[in-house]
Amino acid sequence: MSVESKGYDVVDFAQIEAQRCPCGWARRSLMDDSSVPYSLHVTDILEDARTHYHRRITETYFFLECSPEARMELNGKSIPVRPHTAIVIRPGTRHRAVGKMRVVIIASPKFDASDEWFDE
């Protein structure tokens, strides 16, 4: 839920219902606010995600919490991740999260499920 007031938004993620996604549960904000060119998500990754890519969306993952074995697979390369690091994932980059983690994801342009592509 976003509350707009005089030039700023306050987003209370506790008030946003989590939605099932291929890698766990996502709370997506700013999806319906046309004055903001991106969407902002808090995602709990509970299982290994399926490798996918986006044709239009650039995603930035900021890792809040990670299990010790957590990593990202990016174009087949395994990258260890830890809290307070970020990875920018550009369109066309095959990616998936491996292990349990909580991440903030900035998607620009806004997240669109129709721009999630799988090779298999």
85-100 pLDDT, tens digit each: 999 999 999 999 999 9
**Could you tell me the CATH number of the domain that includes residue 60?**
2.60.120.10
Asked if residue 15 is part of any domain, the answer here is no
Give the predicted TM-score (pTM) of the model.
0.91
25-34 pLDDT, tens digit each: 999 999 999 9
d(Cα 45, Cα 91) in Å, to the nearest integer? 21
Asked if residue 84 is part of any domain, the answer here is yes
Asked if residue 13 is part of any domain, the answer here is no
Asked if residue 88 is part of any domain, the answer here is yes
Asked if residue 46 is part of any domain, the answer here is yes
State how many domains the chain has: 1
Q: Which residues of the chain have pLDDT under 50?
A: none
Segments forming the whole domain that contains residue 85: 22-115
- What pLDDT was estimated at residue 7? 83
